[in-house]
Structure 1
Amino acid sequence: MKIRNRLTLISSLTFGFVFIIASVLIYFAFYNSSEKVVFKELQKTCLLSAIYYLEKDELPHYEHSAIKEQFEENIQNDIVRVYDLNNVIVYGEKEADRNINPTNLNFIRKNKKLSFKSNNHFYYGIFYNDNQGDFVVFVKTKSEVFKSQTNRLLVIMIVVLFGGLFLIFLLSRLLSNIAYRPITNVINQVNSMELSSLDDPILSSNTNDEVQELIATFNNLLSRLSDTFAIQKNFINYVSHEFKTPLASISGNLEVFAQKDRTPEEYQKVTSEALENVYHIEEILNNLMMLSGLKTIHQENETFRIDETVWDINDQIFETHEKQEIGIDLDVKNEELLSVKGNEVQIRLALYNLIENAVKYSEGNPIKISLSEVNNQLQIIIEDYGKGILKEDLNYIQQTFYRGKNVGNIKGSGIGLSLATIIFKQNNIQFAIHSEENSGTRITLLFPKL
């Protein structure tokens, strides 16, 4: 069942249920109230009848005449019977009533009054003490008017119920269409999407409700899908390019090498070049495997000295870049901050990638690594003064396989920075990058408290 139909059905059923409950309460309240009014009027008629029949000998003529007028006016649709102590009808309607029996009469003499109803009549009786003796006065009236009023009320409520249900159905249908309109708009936009248009977000409804949250969530999903497709495309381009170059070099050298006999020095040179290309391919595969493993495997943490790791990386970098000047500034008074908790191998790899990138893109300028404490937390800053990163590349530079437009002929895989980003995230290390073109890059790491 569609949401619109479900909303309409629920609204109609809710209104019907509430109205039926309210109608039942109103009906019974009216029924009981009307009964009380009828019995109250019968009580007045009983008393008036008793005065009319039993006080004639004691009242002045003019007063009795006034009572007679009231009696005749009120008794038009009522039947009165006055019983003596022997349960004999002495005044009023002489024909006996089977609903008025000795038990009822004795009950009235004991309790002073009695009211009840039969199928078609209401009865009310009172005990009346007179100088002529003790009497019981009974008044009976038809229930036709009472039933007519209650039946009329019942019919009105039934008509209102069905009319209200119909009106609520129409209003619910209208409101559900209005409420569902943003969802319909989203469905139409989604159905019109193609793979090439995943970058185009769904237009917001600006309703500040759950639909708005749904659109924001879906746009976020589209953004991630678009990034995933871009990564896949970059991956294919990257693998084909990075593998093609060393493989072409290996095959070319071997083809030339196989054309004639070579000297031992030439054998050594070709073998070295082939091994260098094989190692390059192996490095690419290792990076890809590590990148995949980081996203799926959780490794246990350990506590280690981060300053020692930085010095080890500095020594390792110096082996391949002897002329590169790297300054390390240690300004941490609380030595406990230098002990960090995390995966040492992963954090070491991430720091190495960052420092190596700083060396590659520094254009020979000095590199500065600072270790300091900020708000009782360890902060590491890696800063170079090289070519920097273009402003339009900053939003994408941490994506896998993405390389800046100004890297030139500098070799790279586009994996190192994204690998470091994932490692820092898994180890709860805050990572920020600031860069300006031709001014250099500044990377800030803030380690969590132990």
Structure 2
Amino acid sequence: MQLRTKITSIFIVLTSLFLTGIFILIYYNSKKYTESEFYLRLSQRATIAAQAYLEADELNIDIYDDIRIRHLQTLPNEKEIIYPVDGERKVPLVNLDVSLPMSFYEEIFSQEYAELKLGDYYYTGLLYHDNEGDFIVVLSATDLYGFGKLDNLRNTLIIAFFISIIFILILGGYYARQALSPIAKIINDVNSIRAENLSQRLNITNGKDELGQLAKTFNNMLDRLQISFDLQSNFINNASHELRNPLTAILGQTEIALSKARSKEEYHSILKNIDLEASRLDFLVNGLLKLAQTDFDSKGVLIEPIRVDEMILSIKENIDVAIPNNKIEINFEDLPENEDAITLMGSESLLNVSLRNILENACKFSENKKVSVKVFSNIDYISITIKDEGIGIPEDELKNIFEPFFRASNVRGIKGFGFGLPLAYRIIKIHSGEIRFVTQIDKGTLVKISLPNRNTYNT
């Protein structure tokens, strides 16, 4: 079922229920008012009848007949009955009409007035006190005019109900179509977007209503998709280029070696070049594999408790072997006594790779100047700051530093592939952490890393 049809149907059902309730209430109140009015007429006529018939003066009967004929319209099937009763014992002195229930007469004795409806007949009874004694006056009639009015009202309400439903069906369908037309336009625009025109966006006429918010959200999603496509395209191009260079060098050296017989020294030189390019290729492939591994988020990653201070000391020992002349200084003065506050849950091997890449970059791009590492924590997070005195990163290029193969314009002459920071960024994100860079050209870079500790992980 289409949304337009569903909205129209629900609107018609709700309106039908509302109209049905209103019309029933109107009919019920009209019926009660008609009956109440007719009972009032009956009681008035019963009082007049009692006064006329029970007075000793014969003139009263003539007056009553004159009033009824001239001024009071005779009611359909009108009938009057007067019963003398024993006022003290409250019992009738003659046989009562057995077609009426005794509860009717009992109510007359107790309340001195009673009303009753049997079939199409209305009855009123009253206890009339006279100097000759007490009498029960029962007057009955049918309200043909009231029945006709109620029938006419019922038929009018039924016709009005169906006319209203037809009108609401037409009007509701029209407005539902008008209300949903922007959604239909969004659907058509979305269906027209393909990979080749991913830059196309939905037109937002009113950004404050729900449809405007929907279009804005979809445009934001398209922005992210376009960025992802561009990154993927750049990644493939850069990866192909970086992989082709060492392969071309290896093939070229091999071709040179096979072109003619050469001396032992020449073969040794060629093999050395091949080994260098193969090592470069191996480093590149391993970097790609690690980068791919982080795309699977934390699936399959061994989660274990890690003491951050011990991990940093282990990384420092490894860097001392790889870069003997590094000047990394570690500050643990602000570490808390609580062990859980400096323990996090994660993959030690991945975090080791992440922090080592950042520290090696700090040493490499500062030409082994002083690199300060400081660790501190609060109740929920462990913070690591790494500050170097290197060449810094251009401010307008900071937004690209986490893209694979991207290298800042001022480090093109320094050896590297552009894997370190993207890999470190993804690993930290896997561990629900954050990484930020504060940098100045030729003055250095400050890296701020925040990771949830064991307390946060357990909650």
Q: Fold conserved (TM > 0.5)?
A: yes
Q: Which residue of 2 aligns with 1:383?
A: 387
**TM-score, normalised relative to structure 1:** 0.83
Q: Deviations over 1:72-106 (max 9, x none)?
A: 322433533335679xxxxxxxxxxxxx9544397
Aligned-partner SS, 2:295: helix
1:81 matched to 2:80? The reply is yes
Q: Is the 8 A contact 1:39 1:115 kept in 2?
A: no
Q: How does 1:42-441 map to 2 (within 5 A)?
A: 42-55=42-55, 57-58=56-57, 67=64, 69-72=66-69, 73-78=71-76, 79-82=78-81, 101-104=97-100, 111-112=107-108, 113=114, 115-119=116-120, 121-126=121-126, 128=128, 137-296=137-296, 297-334=299-336, 336=339, 338-362=342-366, 364=367, 366-373=369-376, 375=378, 378-441=382-445
Q: Deviations over 1:17-71 (max 9, x none)?
A: 111122123312321332222122212211211212222x258x5x777655543
Distance 1:375 1:106 in 2: 89
The one-letter code sitting in structure 1 at the alignment partner of 2:224 is R
Q: Deviations over 1:323-356 (max 9, x none)?
A: 5544444433535455444321111100111122
- Higher alpha-carbon deviation: 235-244 or 246-255: 235-244
Distance 1:123 1:430 in 2: 89
Q: Which residue of 2 aligns with 1:14?
A: 14
The one-letter code sitting in structure 2 at the alignment partner of 1:258 is L
Distance 1:164 1:185 in 2: 31
Q: Is the 8 A contact 2:394 2:441 kept in 1?
A: yes
Q: Which residue of 2 aligns with 1:97?
A: none
The one-letter code sitting in structure 2 at the alignment partner of 1:71 is R
The one-letter code sitting in structure 1 at the alignment partner of 2:417 is S
Cα distance, 1:289 vs structure 2: 2.4
Cα distance, 1:114 vs structure 2: 5.4
The one-letter code sitting in structure 2 at the alignment partner of 1:183 is I
Query: Aligned Cα RMSD in Å?
Result: 3.3
Distance 1:434 1:269 in 2: 44
Distance 2:450 2:246 in 1: 38
Q: Which runs of 5+ in 2 are unaligned?
A: 86-95, 109-113, 455-459
Q: Which residue of 2 aligns with 1:96?
A: none
Aligned-partner SS, 1:227: helix
Cα distance, 1:205 vs structure 2: 4.8
Q: Deviations over 1:381-401 (max 9, x none)?
A: 222333333333322321334
Q: Deviations over 1:144-200 (max 9, x none)?
A: 211121122213322332343244335434543453244234224323423244345
Q: Is the 8 A contact 1:108 1:126 kept in 2?
A: no
Q: Deviations over 1:257-282 (max 9, x none)?
A: 11223333332222222222223222
- Sequence identity (%): 27
Cα distance, 1:138 vs structure 2: 4.0
How many aligned residue pairs are there?
432
The one-letter code sitting in structure 2 at the alignment partner of 1:397 is I
- Higher alpha-carbon deviation: 239-248 or 394-403: 394-403
Cα distance, 1:16 vs structure 2: 0.9
Aligned-partner SS, 2:273: helix
